[in-house]
Structures are given as C-alpha cells and as structure tokens.
Amino acid sequence: MNHPRGLAPQTPQVIPLNDELSYSLRRQQVDEFLTRQLASLPEGSRLLDLGGVKQGQRGHGQRVSERLQVTVANIVSDKGLDVKADAAWLPLAADSYPAVLCSEVLEHVSDPRPVLAEIYRVLQPGGTVLITVPFMFRQHADPADYGRYTEWFWAENLALVGFSDFDIEKQGLFGSVLADMLRHWWQQGVIEGRGPLPRLQRRLLPRLMAATRRRALRFDAKHHAHPIWSSYAGGFGIRARKPA
C-alpha cells in the first residue's frame, strides 16, 4: 500500500485504558497523542487552542496544557474563550504564536483548507501545529459534521499551505475501529434497557469492554503492516512545523 509523505510508522501507541463505556477508544488515542505532543513543547510556551473551550473539555489529553500559556479561540462562547472568531478568519497578527492546537475541530467546518492556511499564517516561523481528526468514526453534529478525509488529503493540503515538515499518525486500525463500534452498540443497549438483565449488563459491560479494547490494540499492533487491516483508521494525529 502506498502512503503519502509524512505518514508515520503504523505501530500503535501504548495507551492507558479507561473502562468507562462513555469513553471511546478513539478518544483515548486522541488523549495519548495530545499528552505526548503537548509535553514536548517548552514550559510556558504560548499556545493557541483553536476551536477549544475553557469549561467542560472532553477527554483528558489537554491537561498537560496547564503548563502552557493557552489562548482559546472559538466561534461559540457558551463554554468560555479568550477570542471569539471563525477559525478561517482569526483576528490575530501573522507569526504570533509558537504553537497551535486544533483538536477534533476540522470535521466540523465545511472546508478545512482555509483553516489550515490561517493556522499557517498565525504560526511563528519554526512553530508547531497539533491536529487531531476522526476518520472511521460516527457522525457527531457540533453543530454540523461535514467530512472525513484520508491521510492523502492532509499530506497534500499541509504541503500546499506551506508546511514542509509534518508527521501523520493513524489513531487506531481495524481492531480499534471495530471495538468502538461494539462499544457504541453495547452502550446504547444499556441506555435503552435492552436485554433481559440490564443491571447485570451495567456491571459486566465495562469489564467486557476493557477486554475487547485490549484485544483490539493487540490486533492492531500485530497487523500494523497488513495491507488490509492497516488500511483502516479511526482517525489521525498530525504534527506539522512551519519553516523557520
């Protein structure tokens, strides 16, 4: 299988598993990526969190950002922000931030390419952007859900806006995608009270889900170079640098 330039080796990362049914394996893989990448930024760095919120953050991967100086920019203000703006039209000076975070946002814009260009504009020369996006994951309107894009799309468009140094990691292969589909099916069964023993299900399903996730990650690790199983992706984690 031919991969685009910048696609990182597909050995799945080791992640601490959360047994909660409400917490997807995809979200845990996003957390692992953000924790690892944000920890590599120098302490006290200025970070633009594009599309983020100050209150009610989903996931735990952004906690490491507490050691950074974070500016939150979003088009909605009900969960707290510092700058109210459309991601494609930021009222910020060019070359103003050494780092930008754009996590689980670009699927919610009708065209992510102007946002990539705007991120590039506000990044300082030598600056870093961290992006996470879903691929084989359910639609989730917030307020709308527009697209799923392959690694070829991201590699081509990162290069077109000017990024010359970037890595694209797949977050979850076939095993992880299947595990998240099963989790959602089981979770909805508990919520809707399906099955003869819903109370028993509530006690047993977290254990069953944890075992399923461990098996899924082992499957992905074993088949990370398989031409079929490695062609699946739950999503992507992207690190790109603006030329100095």
pLDDT string in tens for the chain (244-residue length): 456 766 655 555 556 566 677 788 999 999 999 999 999 999 999 999 999 888 767 665 556 677 899 999 999 877 788 999 999 999 999 999 999 999 999 999 999 999 999 999 999 999 999 999 999 999 988 889 999 999 999 999 999 999 989 999 999 999 999 999 998 888 777 767 665 556 666 677 778 888 999 999 999 999 999 999 999 999 999 999 999 9
Residue written as tokens 């959602």?
184
The pLDDT tens digits for 71-102 are 999 998 777 889 999 999 999 999 999 999 99
131: left (phi over 0), alpha (psi -120 to 50) or beta: beta
Q: Is residue 215 part of a domain?
A: no
Amino acid identity of residue 143, one-letter, is P
Q: Indicate yes or no: pTM above 0.85.
A: yes
Provide the token pair at 222: 């074993």
Could you give the number of structural domains in the chain?
1
CATH number, domain containing residue 158: 3.40.50.150
208: nearest Cα among 29, 19, 23: 19
The reply to whether 126 falls in a domain is: yes
| Residue 193: inside a domain | no
What is the residue whose two structure tokens read 């983020």?
A: 52
Examine residue 180 and state whether it is found in any structural domain, yes or no: no
Inside any domain, residue 12: no
Domain of 115? 25-172+233-241
Residue 204 included in any domain: no
Indicate whether 99 belongs to any domain.
yes
